[in-house]
């Protein structure tokens, strides 16, 4: 290898901080296969063909074209890009490692922020192949991938230059862990919370009970949510299962943990899912209005799509943890609100450690110490501000829709 481009030289030329040392061990492996002609994702023809496949705005395509020469003229960044692609697409890669990958320094100039956008685009042939093997319509593949344009736009809104930093999220669909079907995205996972969900045999009624030993405040949220503690006023949940009945604290479908004990006869109720049961996480890309019709269509599509294309994936429920699941919206948003209609399809539940961080991030773009400074352009922004000024706090929440072989059971 050209000694001027060994690991230390590349890291120095790219201005990468010490954090770059995480790549040192694997560097020889990737560089053994490095060849300039092998950098397909920096070749203009490949780039145009790839961009043509993705349904992404022309402005984002232009961002790729405009920043492309910067990378083709920077040998160190070419080697680094190859290294990242090698790890992501040619090794058994642990996605947790992505949290430690450094961003390129601003001193390289504004175009450098597109580095990870090229690295992600380079994953196109792999996901095309994986989806092809599963018999997935290429239109779904390209629609799923179009999400990364939203994150490039998000970066632009935040920093004023085109770039991509949320590589952990994008790698989710590049590695076939997440797929977009119509309006919503889905990720097979396991239910992480200690709740027990039951369905009555004679009708589709669903009930959620809290697991044993969890602490709740009188308002039905977890103790410590929004960093607020009720201290002596908080109560601890009990959950007991006998051969004839299950006793525990009901979580109301509006997401409030009830201090009184409820009893479900085992002869009438079946357990549907608990902590660690397989579920499909539902995610909502920032891709236009969240109309009820589009969401219902997407959920229906998912119900049939997964058994056909991911037969190894089973799921007992669709779940969503988000600022959109805040159960206080019911008091504030008009009936026609898409957010309210979306939320109402789910059985809501509190989540431990709930906070308003994501609400601020997604509605105002960032947090505000002084709420009077937050933008108030949309009715939602005005509603959020009014609630905070009245002494309220927003919080994230969870929601689920039961799914079994008979169908989808709303709350
Ligand atoms: C989810 C989302 C599509 C809902 O938007 P929507 O379909 O317009 O929702 P509603 O019909 O309930 O909107 C009602 C009002 O709130 C506004 N609004 C909705 N989401 C908003 C947001 N994220 N920021 C600011 N205002 C928003 C709408 O513009 C509308 O305002 P108006 O009455 O002044 O016209 C939108 O919030 C979004 O794109 N969010 C980003 C993605 C996201 O948060 N995903 C979840 C991550 S876990």
Confidence of residue 404 (pLDDT cuts 50, 70, 90): confident
Interstrand relation of 278-283 and 407-409 (parallel, antiparallel or unpaired): unpaired
Query: Span 14-33, mean pLDDT?
Result: 88
Q: Is 341 in the pocket of ligand 1 (CB under 6 A)?
A: no
Q: Are residues 289 and 201 part of one domain?
A: yes
Whole-number Å distance, alpha carbon 365 to ligand 1 midpoint, is 12
Q: What is the pLDDT of residues 62-105, one digit of tens each?
A: 999 999 999 999 999 999 999 999 999 999 999 999 999 999 99
Confidence of residue 328 (pLDDT cuts 50, 70, 90): very high
101 is a domain residue: yes
Nearest-atom number in ligand 1 for the CA of 287 is: 39
Whole-number Å distance, alpha carbon 379 to ligand 1 midpoint, is 9
Q: Are residues 215 and 149 part of one domain?
A: no
Q: Are residues 191 and 123 part of one domain?
A: no
Cβ count near 81 (within 10 Å): 21
Total count of residues recorded for the chain: 411
Domain closes at, from 108, 143, 177:
177
Place of tokens 């430690």: 100
Cβ count near 206 (within 10 Å): 20
Mean pLDDT of the chain: 94
CA distance 50 to 56: 11
Count of structural domains within the chain: 2
388 is a domain residue: no
Q: Are residues 277 and 199 part of one domain?
A: yes
Report yes or no: 330 and 394 within 8 Å, Cβ to Cβ.
Answer: no
Q: Are residues 265 and 143 part of one domain?
A: no
Q: Is 154 in the pocket of ligand 1 (CB under 6 A)?
A: no
Pocket test for ligand 1, best of 150, 359, 378 (most atoms within 8 A of CB): 378
The pTM assigned to this predicted structure is 0.94
Q: Does residue 193 carry a pLDDT above 70?
A: yes
Region of poorest pLDDT, from 36-40, 164-168, 314-318: 36-40
Pocket test for ligand 1, best of 184, 320, 380 (most atoms within 8 A of CB): 380
Whole-number Å distance, alpha carbon 289 to ligand 1 midpoint, is 7
Q: Are residues 184 and 134 part of one domain?
A: no
Q: In degrees rounded to 5, what are phi and psi of residue 60? A: -75, -40
**Dihedral, CA of residue 267, residue 268, residue 272 and residue 276, to nearest 10:** -50
Q: Are residues 190 and 137 part of one domain?
A: no
Query: Span 343-365, mean pLDDT?
Result: 96
Q: What is the pLDDT of residues 265-291, one digit of tens each?
A: 999 999 999 999 999 999 999 999 999
- pLDDT score of 220: 98
Q: Does residue 331 carry a pLDDT above 60?
A: yes
Q: Are residues 188 and 164 part of one domain?
A: no
Whole-number Å distance, alpha carbon 5 to ligand 1 midpoint, is 48
Q: Are residues 297 and 270 part of one domain?
A: yes
Q: What is the pLDDT of residues 143-181, one digit of tens each?
A: 999 999 999 999 999 899 999 999 999 999 999 999 999
- pLDDT score of 110: 96
Q: Which two tokens stand for residue 396?
A: 């994230």
- pLDDT score of 411: 54
- pLDDT score of 2: 55
Domain closes at, from 156, 177, 198:
177
The share of the chain scoring above pLDDT 70, in percent, equals 97
Q: Are residues 327 and 219 part of one domain?
A: yes
- Domain enclosing residue 22, as ranges: 3-177
Cβ count near 262 (within 10 Å): 13
Q: Residue with the nearest Cα to atom 7 of ligand 1? A: 289
Confidence of residue 323 (pLDDT cuts 50, 70, 90): very high
Nearest-atom number in ligand 1 for the CA of 323 is: 48
Report yes or no: 395 and 225 within 8 Å, Cβ to Cβ.
Answer: yes
Domain closes at, from 177, 203, 228:
177
Confidence of residue 21 (pLDDT cuts 50, 70, 90): confident
Report yes or no: 61 and 98 within 8 Å, Cβ to Cβ.
Answer: no
Which residues, 6 or more positions from 89, have their beta carbon under 8 angstroms from its beta carbon? 122, 123, 126, 174
The full DSSP string for 17-78 is -GGGGGGTTTHHHHHHT--GGG-GGGSHHHHHHHHHHS---HHHHHHHHHHHHHHHT-HHHH
Q: Does residue 55 carry a pLDDT above 90?
A: no
Q: Are residues 207 and 88 part of one domain?
A: no
Q: Are residues 191 and 164 part of one domain?
A: no
Query: Span 376-397, mean pLDDT?
Result: 96
Q: Is 289 in the pocket of ligand 1 (CB under 6 A)?
A: yes
Q: Which two tokens stand for residue 91?
A: 């090794």
The share of the chain scoring above pLDDT 90, in percent, equals 89
206 is a domain residue: yes
- pLDDT score of 410: 61
Q: Is 150 in the pocket of ligand 1 (CB under 6 A)?
A: no
Confidence of residue 34 (pLDDT cuts 50, 70, 90): confident
CA distance 51 to 277: 39
- pLDDT score of 198: 97
- pLDDT score of 36: 72
Q: What is the pLDDT of residues 216-230, one digit of tens each?
A: 999 999 999 999 999
Q: Does residue 185 carry a pLDDT above 80?
A: yes
Whole-number Å distance, alpha carbon 282 to ligand 1 midpoint, is 16
80 is a domain residue: yes
Burial 119-153 (b: 16+ CB within 10 A, else e): bbbbbbebbbeebeeeebeeebbbbbbbbbbbbbb
């Amino acid at each position: 290898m050209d000694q001027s481009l060994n690991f230390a030289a590349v890291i120095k030329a790219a201005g990468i901080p010490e954090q770059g040392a995480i790549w040192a061990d694997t560097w020889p492996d990737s560089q053994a296969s490095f060849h300039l002609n092998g950098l397909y994702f920096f070749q203009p023809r490949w780039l145009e063909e790839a961009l043509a496949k993705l349904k992404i705005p022309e402005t984002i395509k232009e961002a790729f074209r405009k920043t492309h020469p910067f990378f083709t003229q920077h040998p160190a960044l070419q080697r680094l890009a190859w290294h990242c692609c090698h790890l992501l697409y040619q090794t058994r890669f642990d996605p947790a490692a992505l949290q430690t990958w450094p961003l390129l320094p601003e001193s390289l100039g504004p175009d450098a922020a597109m580095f990870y956008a090229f690295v992600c685009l380079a994953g196109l042939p792999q996901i095309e192949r994986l989806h092809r093997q599963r018999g997935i319509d290429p239109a779904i593949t390209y629609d799923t991938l179009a999400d990364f344009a939203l994150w490039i736009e998000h970066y632009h809104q935040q920093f004023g230059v085109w770039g991509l930093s949320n590589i952990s999220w994008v790698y989710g669909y590049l590695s076939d862990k997440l797929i977009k079907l119509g309006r919503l995205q889905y990720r097979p996972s396991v239910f992480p919370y200690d709740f027990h969900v039951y369905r009555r045999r004679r009708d589709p009624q669903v009930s959620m009970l809290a697991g044993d030993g969890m602490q709740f405040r009188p308002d039905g949220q977890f103790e410590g949510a929004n960093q607020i503690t009720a201290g002596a006023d908080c109560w601890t949940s009990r959950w007991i299962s006998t051969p004839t009945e299950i006793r525990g604290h009901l979580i109301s479908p509006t997401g409030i943990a009830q201090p009184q004990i409820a009893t479900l006869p085992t002869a009438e109720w079946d357990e549907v899912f608990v902590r660690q049961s397989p579920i499909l996480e539902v995610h909502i890309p920032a891709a236009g209005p969240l109309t009820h019709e589009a969401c219902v269509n997407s959920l229906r599509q998912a119900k049939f799509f997964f058994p056909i294309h991911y037969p190894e994936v089973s799921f007992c429920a669709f779940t969503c943890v988000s600022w959109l699941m805040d159960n206080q919206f019911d008091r504030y948003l008009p009936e026609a609100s898409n957010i309210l209609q979306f939320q109402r399809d789910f059985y809501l539940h509190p989540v431990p450690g709930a906070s308003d961080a994501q609400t601020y991030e997604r509605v105002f773009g960032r947090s505000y110490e002084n709420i009077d400074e937050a933008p108030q352009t949309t009715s939602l922004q005005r509603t959020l501000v009014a609630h905070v000024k009245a002494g309220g706090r927003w919080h994230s929440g969870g929601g689920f829709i039961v799914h079994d072989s008979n169908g989808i059971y709303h709350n």
